[in-house]
Structure 1
Amino acid sequence: MKIKKKLLLGFGLLFVVVLVFGAASVYYIEVISETSNVTLKNNYKTLTFTREMRSVLDENDLPLPSIASSAFDQALQKQENNITEPGEKTATASLRDAFILLIGPSSGLNQKQQAERNARQQLKKIEELNMHAIELKNAYTHSTVNKATLYLGAMVFITFFILFILIVNFPGVILNPLRELADGLDQVSKRNYDTRLKFNASEEFTQLAKAFNIMALNLGDQANADLTKIIAAECRIKILIEEIQNPVWGINEKQEILFINHEAKSVLNLGEKSVIGQSVLELSKNNPLLKMILEDNNAAPSLKINQDSNVIYFQQKSIEVVVPNLKTDLDNLQVAGYSAGMIHVLKKTTGKP
């Protein structure tokens, strides 16, 4: 799977969870708010109206004065327009009948007292109905809050779980292949062309690993081809040098022997032991002839060397090897030469000049 698809899947799922979380939060807030509004609008208003009517009865003697009757009637009319609970309509109608008897001019004192007791009973019944409704709505509100807490808590856990997976996995999906790629490039820079990468995390890194492996393979093939050419050239040079009748040897810029033929080893009394890679400065410490050649260079036109009880004259020639040093400076290619060593040749002559 591509990294893009993984990111879309992970963040898409997180977006859906957050969206559901938000929608559920808004829904439950609306439910709780609506329940509270209904309770406040209906039940608490009814309790206010019954309290006002009860106050009229408590604060006035029978028969009720006209001002008290008017206040009671206004509160009763408001209650008649605010009937919401089952049984409340019947109780309110009974309250209206009791009030009619209570203010009726033809009613006697006993009837008015009985009507007052009946009115108080109906008021009590209306209050009980609304108090019970408040308790039910309060229980429903608590149930809704608990349910919302459970659901929202579960969504918070799911959101945390998804975020945890994203935090733990996604950095590794990207950083681990990059780390392996950096290690692979470091190995290639050290000419370890057998290094191979294998990524299974995503299609992008799989393609990158494929490209890296092809690059490493091509570099390895090119390095092998170049090495083969170098070895072949060295072999040809060695054969050519051995076929030369004159003493020949070469040193690099570190004053180490690169090649030397049999004639040179014989003339310089170096024996049959291989001296390739050894420092000529170290060898010259115990070899006066070699030391003289290195110090004189081309200063002396000829050398007289005793070899096998015979005096042989050689013409010395030292050639400095200068190779180009290519440097890229911004957009300009600079070509400079530097010394890569010396080639010494001793050519036999017929006698002293």
Structure 2
Amino acid sequence: MSIKLKLLAAFGFLFCVIMLLGGLGAYYLRELARDSKAIIKDNYESVEYASNMMKLLDELQSLQVYYFFNPENSLDTVKYQSLVNRFNKLLLAERQNITEIGEAGLAASLAEDFKDYLTIFEKGTGSLPDKNSYYFNHVLPAYEPVKTQVAQVAEMNMQAILRKNQTAQQTADRVVAYMGLLGTASMIAALGFLILLPGYIANPLKQLTFSIEEIANRNYDKRLEFDSNDEYGNLATAFNTMAARLHEYERSNVSKLLFEKKRIETIIQHMQDAIIGLDENKYILFANPTALAIIGMQEVELVGNYAPDVASVNDLVRNLIKELMIGRDSWEEAERRPLKIFANGKESFFSKEIVDVSSSKTPNGKPRLIGHLIVLKNITRFQELDAAKTNFIATISHELKTPISSIKMSAKLLEDSRIGKVNEEQQKLIAHIREDSQRLLKITGELMDLAQVETGNIQLHIRETDPKEIVDYACHAVAFVAGQKQIEMKLHIPPSIAAVQADREKTVWVMINLLSNAIRYSPQEGKIEVTVLKQKDCIEFSVKDFGKGIEEKYVERIFDKFFQVPESNENFTGTGLGLAISKEFIGAQGGRIWVESTVGTGSTFKFLLPIVKNIKSFIP
């Protein structure tokens, strides 16, 4: 029998038991409800009628006593008639609700006696010599049988209620007995299913799971043995066939894998770049001869060892894995510069690249990190060419500064009337000469600053500096240019702000450069927002404009040397050095500079400077 049929039989049996319990319960509940309904409908209403009639008889008697024993008062006929009508109405309802044997005759006799009672009473309402005697001799004797018969009606129905209640109790006891027996049998059957069925289903699955884990661990000799003719038996046959074929496939592919592994190792060994491989747990898997020569260690000292343990005895390895240990987000930009390593008998420069290796085949479809590659490329020749270029720029800039200053002075002398008068056209030419010389002086100045930055000879005067002074000085410097375009400058600086550890002059130069760019790319009658905020252990300066913005593809290159955003401003031609120098100035002070921009909404340039430790905030 298949598992499906077995499960259908088991759950079908439980379903039948539940249906049987439900059917019997519904049947006996219906019986109990019918008995209860009979008690309430047939007898309780008669008891209620008799009780109300007894109350009305008491009121009639009180009215009669008041009338007969107080001769000066007349009979309240309205109340009397109301009591009589209500009694007759209840008596009629009782006669229509006859449920017991003899109850009909008793009700008829009660109606007749009540009629006689009223007749006797009404005769006494005329002129009588002795009303007291008439009440005791005629009215009261007629009242007693009526009262007695009402009580008999109530007693008859109360006895019926007790009798029927006993019948309902017997039915309830029968229901409890039957349901108890059937429930016990059902619980025994369900307990059997509860104990046997999970094991019947789960045990083969447990064996299957264990066997799959063994296959995953390359134990292809594992087999399943299910002694059954159901789906589990078919599953065992299919599993065993799969394991046998995997075993054959493994034997046929091991040689191919070993060949590919050997080829990859040969390629890595003969690469000119230094390559070090680590697994996801930071254990060193391999290092080619170039890497071993640069590090200065033997292969046995590296391969198979935990990278941080090797780093504890080798400074170069510590520098190479530092990025992996502290995380990419905490990696300082300044530490991404070329590494200076003494190799091949001289100082050499290497660029470091860390490549994360991920597996694309995972159960959940997401890539899983399986290791890292550290690649060192020798860039010594390029570094030497860059140094030569920097020296050339510094020399040319220095040599050009003197003749340009002389040209500027000569243009100024030509404008002096003591030298001689010049016409309007000559005046325009002199003005152009003066503007061009001023522009050339600015370019040579920026080139000299760039050369100073690239040679690492930045002269910094780090001291405690008030951030508000930096902003105020820079805003004052560009106030005239901003006024020409009617640009509003809004400052957002807290009343109390911590001091920064910075070179005041170079930080002001950076702020002026950012404000000048913001003014240049802001629309006429626009606005610029300058904000200073405390961010953890740093002070953040930001300059926001509401101009055209920078396209995303240019954001990453905006701080590159000589780079300018294409067609950003057709009326401006700069050198593309301002932001590059600003980046170097801020980085040299231990800070960081970046830009956030969206096309159409403007750009925000921000930079961070460290707070001076253990100092008080500036409070105006």
Name the counterpart of 2:24: 24
**Residue 164 (str. 1) matches residue 191 (str. 2):** yes
Name the aligned partner's letter for residue 235 of structure 2: L
Name the counterpart of 2:207: 180
Structural mapping, 1:39-54, within 5 Å: 39-54=39-54
Q: CA RMSD in A?
A: 3.9
Residues 47 and 187 of structure 1, relative CA distance in 2, 3 Å threshold: closer
TM-score, normalised to structure 1, is: 0.52
The worse-fitting range, judged by mean Cα deviation, of 130-139 and 69-78 is 69-78
Secondary structure of residue in 1 paired with 2:97: coil
Name the counterpart of 1:2: 2
Rounded to whole Å, the distance in 1 between the matches of 2:109 and 2:246 is 105
Q: Contact between 2:221 and 2:244, CA under 8 Å: does it hold in 1?
A: no
Name the counterpart of 2:104: 89
Residues 191 and 209 of structure 1, relative CA distance in 2, 3 Å threshold: closer
Structural mapping, 1:112-131, within 5 Å: 113-131=140-158
Name the aligned partner's letter for residue 203 of structure 1: D
**Residue 79 (str. 1) matches residue 94 (str. 2):** yes
Residues 191 and 213 of structure 1, relative CA distance in 2, 3 Å threshold: closer
Rounded to whole Å, the distance in 1 between the matches of 2:32 and 2:54 is 32
**Residue 209 (str. 1) matches residue 236 (str. 2):** yes
Name the counterpart of 1:287: none
Q: Contact between 1:184 and 1:197, CA under 8 Å: does it hold in 2?
A: no
Rounded to whole Å, the distance in 1 between the matches of 2:144 and 2:172 is 42
The worse-fitting range, judged by mean Cα deviation, of 114-123 and 70-79 is 114-123
Residues 68 and 180 of structure 1, relative CA distance in 2, 3 Å threshold: closer
Rounded to whole Å, the distance in 2 between the matches of 1:138 and 1:53 is 25
Rounded to whole Å, the distance in 2 between the matches of 1:101 and 1:69 is 13
Name the counterpart of 2:176: 149
Q: Which has the higher contact order (CA 8 A, sep 6+)?
A: 1
**Residue 68 (str. 1) matches residue 83 (str. 2):** yes
Rounded to whole Å, the distance in 1 between the matches of 2:109 and 2:84 is 17
Residues 68 and 216 of structure 1, relative CA distance in 2, 3 Å threshold: closer
Structural mapping, 1:250-289, within 5 Å: none
Deviation at 1:210, TM superposition (A): 4.2
The worse-fitting range, judged by mean Cα deviation, of 174-183 and 129-138 is 174-183
Runs of 4+ in 1 over 6 A off after TM superposition: 106-109, 185-188, 214-220
Name the aligned partner's letter for residue 3 of structure 1: I
Deviation at 1:209, TM superposition (A): 3.5
Deviation at 1:119, TM superposition (A): 2.2
Rounded to whole Å, the distance in 1 between the matches of 2:171 and 2:3 is 41
Name the aligned partner's letter for residue 4 of structure 2: K
Deviation at 1:211, TM superposition (A): 4.3
TM-score, normalised to structure 2, is: 0.32
Name the counterpart of 1:133: 160
Deviation at 1:191, TM superposition (A): 5.7
Deviation at 1:5, TM superposition (A): 1.3
Rounded to whole Å, the distance in 2 between the matches of 1:46 and 1:186 is 80
**Residue 104 (str. 1) matches residue 91 (str. 2):** no
% identical equivalent positions: 29
Deviation by residue 1:92-124 (Cα, 9 ceiling, x = unmatched): 122122122222359896565444333233222
Q: Contact between 1:197 and 1:212, CA under 8 Å: does it hold in 2?
A: no
Deviation at 1:135, TM superposition (A): 0.7
Rounded to whole Å, the distance in 1 between the matches of 2:104 and 2:236 is 82
Secondary structure of residue in 2 paired with 1:84: coil
